[in-house]
Amino acid sequence: MSAITDLSAAELAAAIAAGRAGAEEAAKAYLAVIEQREGQIGAFNEVLADRALDEARAIDRRRAAGEPLGPLAGVPVAIKDNLCTAYGRTTCSSRMLENFQAPYTATAVGKLQDAGAVIIGKTNMDEFAMGSSTENSGFGPTRNPWDVSRVPGGSSGGSAAAVAAGMCPAALGSDTGGSIRQPAALCGVVGLKPTYGRVSRYGLVAYGSSLDQIGPLTHDVTDCALLTRVIAGYDRADSTSIPQDVPDYLAAIEKPIAGLRVGLPKEFFSQALDSEIRQAVLAAGEAIKAAGARIVEVSLPTSRVDSDGDGKLSSFAVACYYIVASAEASSNLARYDGVHYGYRTPAKVDDIVDLYCRSRAEGLGAEVKRRIMLGAYTLSSGYYDAYYLKALKVRRLIKNDFDRAFQSCDLLLCPTTPTTAFKLGEKTADPLTMYLADVYTLSVNLAGLPGLSVPAAISAAGLPIGMQLIGPVFSEGRLLQVARAYETATGITRLKPPQ
Amino acid sequence: MVDQNDIVLPIIGLEIHVELDTQTKMFCRCRNRFGDPPNTNVCPVCIGMPGVLPVMNRRAVELSMKVGMALGCQVASVTKWDRKSYWYPDLPKNYQISQYDLPLSSNGLLEVPLADGATKAVRILRAHLEEDAGKNVHDLPSGTGVDLNRAGVPLLEIVSQPDMNSVEEAAAYARTMQRLVRWLGASLANMQMGHMRFEPNINLHITRGGKVHKTPIVEVKNLNSFRSLEGAVAWEIRRQYAAWQEDPEGFTIERQGKQNRGYDDATGQTVFQRGKEEAHDYRYFPDPDLVSVQPDQAWLQAIADSIGELPLARRQRYIDQYRLTFKEADALTQDAPTGDLLDAAVAAGADPKRCVNLMLSRGSAIANERGCSIAQIGLSPAPLAELAIMLHSGQVNATAAAKIFDLMLDGRQTPAAIAAEQGLLAVTEAGEVEAWVDAAIAANPQAAGDVREGGKKAKKAFGFLTGQVMQASRGAANPQQVQEILTRKLG
């Protein structure tokens, strides 16, 4: 029999429900992997070992008593450290919130718990979810399990690395501009950013509120469907969540994809794209076609990704995203001032303004400060129309592009990232280069659409390549269905990094 | 530099903050209540903890729309929420959820009655909804603390056009607004509890030698009593005129623009706070955590239907229809339920004047003792009407009615039952009253003689004998009847 840690989340839950495996046994097995690999990877900010074991034993007792068990009973799940939990700390990988203990649990995490999941720990991330490499963590970087000299992507790098390294069968991340899909691609796992409003944001420490969405990272598409079904749904505590029934994604994904029209947005396959990634994604398109879908070419002019004179990528969407997200961030992070929440400077201060300034200067990292400054600037009177208002107009154009594209296709297939995992430190000196790591993902957030990244291939250098499926609002089921068909047709699933 | 020919016209606009009388706060379910121990009505949402989200209070929006409609405003077909950023220890998120470019209501008018019987029309620019901030509490043994009980309480900000031209007009506008929001049940509008706060904008248009000079606009922040409002406006009018006389070219709106001042109740003077150079940049932008509000027709209609007759219209109706004096009508239209009580009693067949007498004599006295409105003392329309009818038909006299009034407030017995049980029904049996009269005459020959002689002492003696009879009947005799019989016997 294969090790318990080789089971998918769905298989593990089934085994526990049937009494073929124990929840405590599973928790111990995963804690052992964490014990073994965490020193190398650095995926976790906090491992909730004692609590996880208690929860697992409770599941085993319930199973023994014949009580009903949820669909994730006994499945260890890691949680990005910007999701509030009424246990442990919620730090956002920031010195600012180093000791923050939330008195409440995020709705999405609560739903996992209700489904029987065992929360095994809080994962590392870029500070306040700002970054694409998990190097911006206040507590040190996470490393890519495929090559520890490389980044896992970000900002949900800890969650992606934890799943890829086999430290848990599934994790939650948050995606503001690609923060689930980009690390999923770089770590060779499945990551879904659901439709904006599909999953409650209550308890997610806000970065860019109009863009943020919580989603799962898993080894395969089935587990992704399983977790999405659990965490999705209307929540009256989040006004922006949408009262719409959650479909049975698990039932939907095994349906044949014959007749579905898959669009290739030509602007996403320009010369700017790494040729190996282009080949991999186009080959995936062929495989999907062979499974019965039709491939059509579509256009997303406003989201185009170009290569400028010096070979760097350029994109309206990136500019638009950094204005909208930074504006919201400057407001969302204003409460961390040394008076209300978070770190307070130990220095003797002259007055309240001095207290604010020193606390924020000492408690926040460089990237966070950069975006706060950018956001405050673009919202200030005199610049609002030129930047923020203009960005909202571009955002509308991007959405219109997608709407038009979905008139001629059912979903889009494109790359998730412009490159495979890059080296630690490679892009930290040049923030603009780092921002381009999300060039294929962030227009999805601006338009509020669902986006799914699944492993497409392994590069010649032995690094995972992800492909991205994008659909109209609430088309998560269709995206998962096509991704599942690809998994089935090619067998590219549940990739394991070399140990 | 004083010139007797100067024409000085004060230009006054008023921002009124009204705390809405909702059960819970604007964006969470914490209790909205004044006076509780600090930081007891708080939750993660209203103290802005990381990760929490606001959810709009429908009732607060309804009350605001109701006020807007009563002010004749246009209610927006789409309204949204914006964030207003500033840094202050009593502001939990360092931004306030407010409304910027799409206020709930705009372009209204309030007819303000003045003391001389005229009315002043004041245009309303806008009325928008926002959350209140908390309160810094200084002078604690530990230094300064922050009480966030008030943070997140729904606040309606009503902004007038600068249409008022005197202290009296500004004060009358504020009082009329207070009566209106109370009438609509939108706010308790209690100044001591901070339910209403004023921020007047004041400058002067001074005509000298055919030329109009405008003084810099002053906004006086956070006034929480009518007295402060009147004091601050009066002080500013005097101060600005004096300052302009000193420097007619320099002390102008063109040169100095706008400044904020505070008001010191103790000295009755305003003090400089900040000038336009330090004006805030609030960095307004739409709150991404809240969806826009699009009230549908049915919702708007239901709110419009709930408004009913407004206080000044009702006051006039009472004067015209019930023949009440201005003072009586005014007293009965301080709040809607008191007037409703009168209308219901009249509808049940009672004489309006009798009802009003009962309400404004015993009713008013009890209300004053308890510090509440007449409608809140336990009075119901049916017993009020019944008592007024009994009084009108002579079944009880005024003294007995006052006793019955007090006893019927608990609602356990009808006035008729109380009168019967307490022996308060007027005795109109001629024989019985005549016997009391005879006894009184027999017992007081001196007085009876004075009445018969008809001299200077006659009137007093007649009153004395009437009193003796009333006493003998223990108030049950009808005084009019007693006087008739006395007149017949001694006349």
Nearest CA in chain B to A106: B51
User: A69-102: per-residue pLDDT in tens?
Assistant: 999 999 999 999 999 999 999 999 999 999 999 9
Interface check for B56 against chain A (CB to CB < 8 A): the answer is yes
Residue A265 touches partner B, C-beta closer than 8 Å: no
pLDDT value of position A491: 96
Which sign does the torsion angle of CA B147, B153, B159, B160 carry?
Answer: negative
Smallest CA–CA distance, residue B51 to chain A, in Å, is 4
Average pLDDT taken over every residue of chain A: 96
Q: For residue B200, give every residue at least 6 positions away whose Cβ sits within 8 Å of its Cβ, in sequence order, or none.
A: B12, B13, B14, B15, B170, B219, B220, B223, B229, B232, B233, B236
Query: What pLDDT score does B428 carry?
Result: 66
pLDDT of residue B276: 62
Of A204, A336, A376, the CB nearest to B51: A204
Secondary structure of residue A272 in the 3-state scheme? coil
pLDDT for res B437: 87
Of B281, B285, B289, the CB nearest to A240: B289
Measured between beta carbons, the chain A residues lying within 8 angstroms of B47 are 340
CA closest to A385 among chain B residues: B285
Percentage of residues of chain A with pLDDT beyond 90? 92
Give the Cα separation of B2 and A488 in Å (integer). Answer: 95
Nearest to B51 among A106, A330, A337 (CB): A106
pLDDT over 70 (residue A206): yes
Is residue B10's pLDDT more than 60? yes
Q: Which amino acid is at B45?
A: V
Per-residue pLDDT at A304:
84
User: So what's the pLDDT on residue B1?
Assistant: 59
- The per-residue DSSP string of A74-104 comes to T-EEEEETTB--SSS---TT-GGGTT---SS
What is the reported pLDDT for B468? 87
Residue whose C-alpha is closest to residue B470's, from B424, B419, B431, B402: B424
**Which residues of chain B does A334 touch, with a Cβ-Cβ cutoff of 8 Å?**
85, 87, 93-95
Q: Which whole number is the average pLDDT over B30-45?
A: 95
Mark yes or no for CB contact B289/A236 under 8 Å.
no
Instruction: Please report which confidence band the pLDDT of residue A469 belongs to, taking 50, 70 and 90 as the band edges.
Output: very high
Query: At residue A345, does pLDDT exceed 90?
Result: yes
Q: What whole-number distance in Å separates Cα of residue A35 and Cα of residue A31?
A: 6
Q: Catalytic residue, from A8, A137, A155, A303: name it.
A: A155
A340: closest CA of chain B, how far (Å) = 6
Which pLDDT value is given to residue B278? 61
Q: How far apart are CA A418 and CA A178, in angstroms?
A: 12
- Whether the per-residue pLDDT at B398 is higher than 90: the answer is no
Which residue bears the tokens 């600090």? B38
| Position with higher pLDDT, B243 vs B422 | B243
pLDDT score of A366 more than 60: yes
Please indicate if any CB of chain B lies within 8 Å of the CB of A2: no
Give percent above pLDDT 70 in chain A. Answer: 99
Q: Region A358-373: what's the mean pLDDT?
A: 97
Q: Supply A288's token pair.
A: 């999907």
Amino acid at B230: E
pLDDT in tens, A97-116: 999 999 999 999 999 999 99
Residue-wise pLDDT tens digits, A304-344: 887 766 666 778 899 999 999 999 999 999 999 999 888 99
A393 is an active site residue: no
pLDDT-based confidence at residue A124 (cuts at 50, 70, 90): very high
CA–CA separation, B399 vs B477, rounded Å?
11
Q: What is the mean pLDDT of residues A381-403?
A: 96
User: Does B348 score more than 60 pLDDT?
Assistant: yes
pLDDT category, A1, cuts 50, 70, 90? very low
A327 vs B52, B285, B290: nearest CB: B285
Cβ contacts (< 8 Å) between A238 and chain B: which residues? 53, 55
A379 → closest Cβ in B285, B288, B290: B285
Average pLDDT over residues A35-45: 98
Mutate to test the interface with A, among B26, B45, B52, B276 (most CBs of A within 10 A): B52
**Under an 8 A CB cutoff, do B49 and A376 touch?**
no
Kindly identify which residue of chain B lies nearest to residue A211, measuring between CA atoms: B288
Q: Quote the mean pLDDT of chain B.
A: 92
Task: Give the span between the Cα atoms of B16 and B174, in whole angstroms.
Answer: 8
For B279, the closest chain A residue by CA position comes to A381
Contacts of B280 in chain A (CB under 8 A): none
Whether B94 sits inside 8 A of A334 (CB atoms) is yes
Residue B491, pLDDT > 80, answer no
B43 interface with A at CB cutoff 8 Å: no
Q: Is B55 on the interface with A (CB under 8 A)?
A: yes
Using a CB–CB cutoff of 8 Å, tell me whether A383 touches chain B: no
pLDDT at B482: 85
Q: Report CB contact under 8 Å: B87, A104.
A: no
pLDDT at B231 over 90: yes
Candidate from B85, B95, B285 with C-beta closest to A388: B285
Distance (Å) from the alpha carbon of A80 to chain B's nearest alpha carbon = 13
Q: A98, A132, A45, A187: which is closest to A367 by C-alpha?
A: A132
Check CB contact under 8 Å for B95 and A201: no
Listed in order, strand segments (DSSP E) in A152-285 are 170-175, 190-193, 213-218, 261-265
Is-contact B244 B215, C-beta < 8 A?
yes
Catalytic residue among A93, A159, A174, A179: A179
